[in-house]
Amino acid sequence: MTARLNGILEAAVYVDDLDATERFYSGVLGLPVVVRKDGRHAFFRAGDSIVLTFIAEATREVDPTSPLPVPPHGATGPGHLCFAADAAQLDHWAKTLPEAGVPIEADFHWPNGARSIYVRDPAGNSIEFAEPKLWAEGD
């Protein structure tokens, strides 16, 4: 028997300014801040998942003061996150993101009819809002 995974619990992007990051993810997108450690990270709740935003340089070294054995990690260049949103929510984001000063990079329908909206966070990460049917099995 093979164990089946239940989904993504957390996903990470790397940023360079935690204040700008918090203004975007919490202020513009409305995600609650779970925890923030200045100079290192800010974590946000998105439904049942957590969006981890890290200063890459701070996570490439093991923190000798931390009691947790988290291995070092980090990335270079823009990453990508996609938030699930229904059609009404996408209409909302298509209107409110530009009003909040966040330009829409792309807004289109995929061949299966699912709609996606793409923007950039303050660190240049590609942030997508898409209808879940984008990845519906059998489509």
The pLDDT value recorded for residue 64 is 78
State the pairing for strand pair 115-120/106-109: antiparallel
- b or e along 63-91 (b: 16 or more beta carbons within 10 Å of the residue's beta carbon)? eeeeeeeeeeeeeeeebebbbbbeeeebe
Distances (CA, A) of 127 to 27, 45, 63, 111: 15, 15, 29, 20
The pLDDT value recorded for residue 3 is 82
Place of tokens 């070092």: 72
| pLDDT, block means (10 residues), the chain with 139 residues | 82 96 98 95 96 92 80 88 95 97 97 96 96 84
Nearest CA-CA partner of 132 in 32, 44, 7? 7
Q: Could you give the CA distance from residue 105 to residue 101 in angstroms, rounded to a whole number?
A: 12
Rounded to the nearest angstrom, the gap between the alpha carbon of residue 2 and the centroid of all alpha carbons in its chain is: 29
The pLDDT value recorded for residue 1 is 65
Radius of gyration over every alpha carbon of the chain, rounded to an integer in angstroms: 16
Q: Could you give the CA distance from residue 14 to residue 46 in angstroms, rounded to a whole number?
A: 17
Q: Where are the alpha helices (DSSP H) in the chain?
A: 18-22, 56-59, 87-99
Which pTM value belongs to this model?
0.91
Distances (CA, A) of 129 to 12, 59, 112, 122: 16, 27, 16, 16
